Amino acid sequence: MRLPWRRNAREAELNEELRAHLQFAIEQRIQRGESPDVARANALREFGNVTHVAEVTRDMWGGASWDALVRDLRYAARGLRRSPTFTAVAVATFALGIGANTAMFTVVNGALFKLLPFAQPDRLVSLSRSPAASGPNSRSGLSDHTFVELRATPSRAFSSMATAAGKPMTLTGNGDAEQLSTVQVSWNLMSTLGVPPAIGREFAAARSARGDCWSRADARTA
């Protein structure tokens, strides 16, 4: 990028050099006996398009792309000033487009690209099994029996296996009953995810039930 005052100085030098070359060619022809008008016409024809020569010289300086961008931006700015309504519509369109893209990227980044808030999230995998003849109402996942068999089978692929499943429950006591969305988990889920409990302690294997699959929480483990 050239400094503005340096560019102006080089432009003046270029114009002066082109003028000097052209004047020298005219004087040479006059000395050979041509009239001033004929000498100037022949010199211009031999010298070529002065504007084109100046543009080629500027390209040799470098920064032609930057100069073209600046000219385009100035032209666009003048056009936008002449049409305020079009400018307002264009700005609003750009704002809506940028906002929509930002929102979409935020959702995609959180769902696909952002790592899960667990220890070593790149090593976590999810196992499921779908029926061979799966229909629109079929559910993927592992049954309790299958999970217990997988845990009992020696494997070098997994260092730990845990399970979790949503289950609605009804809370009763004082007042009306309330249905809650809860999750049943195996006793080693938190240690598998590498997440310490915020309050209390983790589930113990001794508290597991149903074939060492689900854990039962009470006041002593919560």
- 51 versus 218: the higher-pLDDT residue is 51
- Residue 126 counted as domain residue: no
- Residue 146 counted as domain residue: yes
Average pLDDT, the chain: 77
Q: Does the pLDDT of residue 198 top 50, yes or no?
A: yes
* CB proximity list for 209: less than 8 A, separation 6 or greater: 215, 216
- Residue 120 counted as domain residue: no
Domain termination residue (choose one: 82, 103, 129): 82
Contact by Cβ (8 Å): 170, 178: yes
Domain count, the chain: 2
- Residue 37 counted as domain residue: yes
Domain termination residue (choose one: 64, 82, 100): 82
- Residue 94 counted as domain residue: no
- Residue 206 counted as domain residue: yes
Structural domain containing residue 72? 4-82
* CB proximity list for 207: less than 8 A, separation 6 or greater: 187, 215, 216, 217, 218, 221
Residue length of the chain: 222
**What is the percent of the chain with per-residue pLDDT over 90, rounded to a whole number?**
6
Question: pTM of whole model > 0.75?
Answer: no
Convert the pLDDT of each residue in 69-111 to its tens digit: 777 888 888 888 888 888 889 889 999 999 999 999 888 887 7
Convert the pLDDT of each residue in 1-33 to its tens digit: 444 445 667 777 777 887 788 888 888 888 888
Q: Does the pLDDT of residue 42 top 70, yes or no?
A: yes
Q: Could you tell me if 71 and 147 lie in one domain?
A: no
- Residue 19 counted as domain residue: yes
Q: Could you tell me if 153 and 221 lie in one domain?
A: yes
- Residue 108 counted as domain residue: no
CA distance 77 to 170: 65
